[in-house]
Amino acid sequence: MEGVIDAHARTLLTARPGFDWTVTEFVRVVDARLPPRVFHKHCPELAVTPPATPSGIPVQLQLLGSDPAALAANARQALRLGADGIDLNFGCPAKTVNRHDGGAALLRDPRRVEAAVAAVAAAVGDAIPVTAKIRLGFSDRRLALACALAAQRGGAQHLVVHARTRDEGYRPPAHWEWIGRIRRALAIPVIANGDIWTLEEYWKARTLSGCRDVMLGRGALADPWLAPRIRHWQATGEHLPATPWAARAAILSDYAAMQHSTLPERVVVSLLKQWLNQMRGRDAEAARRFATLRRITTLDDFLEGLAATQDEMPLAG
Ligand SMILES: Cc1cc2nc3c(=O)[nH]c(=O)nc-3n(C[C@H](O)[C@H](O)[C@H](O)COP(=O)(O)O)c2cc1C
């Protein structure tokens, strides 16, 4: 997730069993072949072959663009640098990206989805899989099925469907039943995405979509134990207890240490606020800490505020 889940976050989120694979933030492709440093920046895991997090979970490289030739050239570049799979982003709703004809903008014309996927699939041949991620459409869902079929025709080996249109942004609800329609029409695996925050929602998304697999986005940040919780439940039928504050604080301070090895303090503090902000909607203690810590500017104070016992925290104003 762009600006949110980078290699450090991937390392932490995959430290316990849960995820089968992960995807990088999108690499924005315009018209030229990007230099290797851009790929290494988005995917430091390219340092190992095949790219994987330290706990061995595969990392796919995501490209976002609209020009088939440029996407193909960059896919070849990624392959040369050791990428083990290319995912194509047709879901990004950002205005600047869409204005420049990227992300969900292509969902207005299924032929363009097909052309992009086909160009990348031809560029990498049988060497590595090409996959795609779509929303249900741009303004409405009329082309949802056509876009999904276009991605399949282009050669996508699986399709992730974020169950909202671009205009719906991130507003609930996610229309999981629409993913089911797409799944039934496609021969390739379809992966359900959108608004899975809890084990119960995981189950509901699976039931309504009929998909075997789901992709977690914000839910994994809100509760870094969501994927392990799902995996544990699959294996044992047991529900893990709610994630305690101390575990959340520990993952945030590990994240701070990793980020601070390369980034200035103020950037690290802002990244921490961003992650805590994702947690606060789903956890009362995270909400209480966020209310106090959002005004903090130094890393030491922020880390102290995370580590403080619940009694030591001032009441949020
Ligand atoms: C801040 C932010 C950045 C995102 N960046 C990406 C991205 O780079 N590539 C991508 O495929 N999806 C991206 N997404 C979309 C998520 O992967 C996911 O499809 C969406 O948030 C719905 O799933 P969720 O409800 O589980 O978060 C991003 C979402 C957010 C909120």
The CA-based dihedral angle spanning residues 28, 31, 36, 37, taken in that order and rounded to the nearest 10 degrees: -50
User: Which tens digits make up the pLDDT trace of 284-294?
Assistant: 999 999 999 99
CA of 23 to the centre of ligand 1 (A): 10
Cα separation, 310 vs 248, in Å, equals 13
Q: Which residue minimizes the CA distance to atom 22 of ligand 1?
A: 194
Q: At 17, is the secondary structure helix, strand, or coil?
A: strand
Q: Is residue 50 reached through a cis peptide bond, with omega within 30 degrees of 0 on the bond before it?
A: yes
Domain locations along the chain: 7-236, 245-312
CA of 210 to the centre of ligand 1 (A): 21
Q: What's the confidence (pLDDT) of residue 315? A: 53
User: Which tens digits make up the pLDDT trace of 201-235?
Assistant: 999 999 999 999 999 999 999 999 999 999 999 99
**What CATH class is the domain 245-312?**
mainly alpha
Q: Which of 299, 285, 296, 198 is nearest to 249 (CA)?
A: 285
**Cα-based distances in Å from 22 to 14, 51, 165:** 9, 10, 23
User: Which tens digits make up the pLDDT trace of 59-80?
Assistant: 999 999 999 999 999 999 999 9
Q: Which residue minimizes the CA distance to atom 28 of ligand 1?
A: 1
Q: Counting atoms of ligand 1 from 1, which one is nearest the CA of 25?
A: 8
Q: Which residue minimizes the CA distance to atom 15 of ligand 1?
A: 1
Assign a CATH topology to domain 7-236.
TIM Barrel (3.20.20)
From the candidates 43, 92, 147, 211, give the one annotated as an active-site residue: 92
What pTM was estimated for this model as a whole? Answer: 0.96
State if residue 196 touches ligand 1 by the CB under 6 angstroms criterion: yes
Average pLDDT (32-52) is 97
- Asked if 211 is an active-site residue, the reply is no
CA of 217 to the centre of ligand 1 (A): 6
State if residue 89 touches ligand 1 by the CB under 6 angstroms criterion: yes
Q: Is residue 228 reached through a cis peptide bond, with omega within 30 degrees of 0 on the bond before it?
A: no
